[in-house]
Amino acid sequence: MNDALYIAATGMQTQQKSVETIANNLANVNTPGFKRGKVSFEDLVYRGLGTAPQQAGAPALWQGSGVGIASMVKVFAAGEIKKTDQPLDLAIDGAGFVEVMTADGTPAFSRGGTLTVDRDGMLATAEGYALKPGIHVGLDAEQLTIQADGRVLARVAGQKEASEVGRIEMARFADTDGMVALGANLYRPSEKSGDAIYGKAGEDGMGRLVQGAVEASNVRLIDEMVGLMAAQRAYESSVKVIQAADEMLAMSNNLRK
C-alpha cells in the first residue's frame, strides 16, 4: 500500500477536527462566558527504513506516519466585561472560578453568568445549580448586593439596611488547560489541572467579582476565520495527495510488459 494514502488521510482527519472546533467557537461567539477551543497537532511515530545506501556510517532513514491531535483544550483568556445592570448578573474580572454543586452531587466550576434564587432561597446559577458553599438569600429578599470581594448582602422587607448572608468563594487551578468542559459554562478539574486552590475574590491571584455584568465570549471572529481558511487549505492539500497517490497506483496496475 502506498503510505501516502494513509498519511494524507490522517491529515484530513485532523483538519476535520480543527474545522469542527472552529465551528463550535463561531457558534458560541455571543455566548456569555464561553471559552474558545483550540486544537494542537503533533507528528505521528516514525519508522526506520534502514541506512542510506553506499555511505559508510550514514544515519538511518526515517519516514513519518502522518499527523495526530496532541490536545483539544479550552483557552481561558479573559473576555470583555459587559455591563448589564441586572443585579443577578455576575462576572469574574480576572482568573478564577465559582464552585457550584451539580444535580448528581459532584462539584463543578463556573465563570459566572446569570444567577438566580432557587425555590429554597439559595443563590444558584440560571440552570439551578446551587453555589458552594451555600448562600441562603431567602425568597423575600428585596435587594441583593454582591461585593467585589465576594460578600453577599441582602435586604428583606421591613429592614432598613442589608445584612451579610454569606460569601462567594473563588477557586483557581494550576493549569486551566486541563479543565474539562461540561457545557452550560461549567467545568470540572482533571489530573492535569490539579485540585482547586480556594481563596477570596481579589486576593492570591483570584479575580474580583463584578455585579451587574457578564463576561463576553473570548472568541475573535477574525482569528477564527483565518484559522478556518488555513484548515480548509490544509484539508484540500491532503485530498490532492490522495488523488495523486491513487493515480500513481493506477499507473502501476496498468503496466504492461
Residue 213 gets which letter from DSSP?
A: E
Q: What is the pLDDT of residue 138?
A: 86
What's the confidence (pLDDT) of residue 12? Answer: 96
Residue 192 and residue 86 in one domain: yes
Rounded CA-CA distance 58/50 in Å is 10
pTM (predicted TM-score): 0.86
Enclosing domain of residue 44: 3-76+219-253
Whether residue 187 sits in one domain with residue 71: no
Q: What is the pLDDT along the chain (257 residues), one digit of tens a residue?
A: 578 999 999 999 999 999 999 999 999 999 999 999 999 999 998 887 766 665 655 567 788 899 999 999 999 999 999 999 999 999 999 999 999 999 888 999 999 999 999 999 999 999 999 999 899 998 888 889 999 999 999 988 778 888 999 999 999 999 998 899 998 899 999 999 999 999 999 998 899 999 999 999 999 999 999 999 999 999 999 999 999 999 988 888 887 65
Shared domain for 37 and 124, answered yes or no, is: no
End-to-end C-alpha distance for the chain, whole angstroms: 22
Based on the domain organization, do 16 and 136 belong to the same domain? no
- pLDDT of the residue at 157: 78
pLDDT value of position 59: 63
Same domain, 95 and 163: yes
How far is CA 234 from its chain centroid?
Answer: 24
Give 104-122 as a 3 state SS string.
CCCEEEECEEEEEECCCCE
Cβ pair 40, 223 in contact under 8 A: no
The helix/strand/coil state of 211 is strand
Q: Are residues 123 and 174 in the same domain?
A: yes
- Which pLDDT does position 207 carry in this prediction? 93
Cβ neighbours for 168, distance < 8 A, ≥ 6 positions apart: 98, 123, 131, 135, 146, 150, 151, 152, 201, 209
At 54 the pLDDT is 59
Of 200, 215, 230, the domain-final residue: 215
Using CA atoms, how far residue 218 sits from 122, 128, 134, 154, in Å, is 30, 25, 29, 32
Nearest of 83, 38, 255, 73 to residue 175 by alpha carbon: 73
- Do residues 120 and 106 share a domain? yes
Domain count, the chain: 2
Supply φ then ψ for residue 3, to 5 degrees.
-60, -25
Residues 199, 125 share a domain: yes
Task: Specify whether 118 is located in the same domain as 190.
Answer: yes
Asked if residue 168 and residue 148 are part of one domain, the reply reads: yes
* pLDDT of the residue at 161: 87
Same domain, 20 and 67: yes
pLDDT of residue 56: 58
- DSSP output for 173-189: -S-GGGPEEEETTEEE-
In this structure, the answer to whether residues 175 and 145 fall within a common structural domain is yes
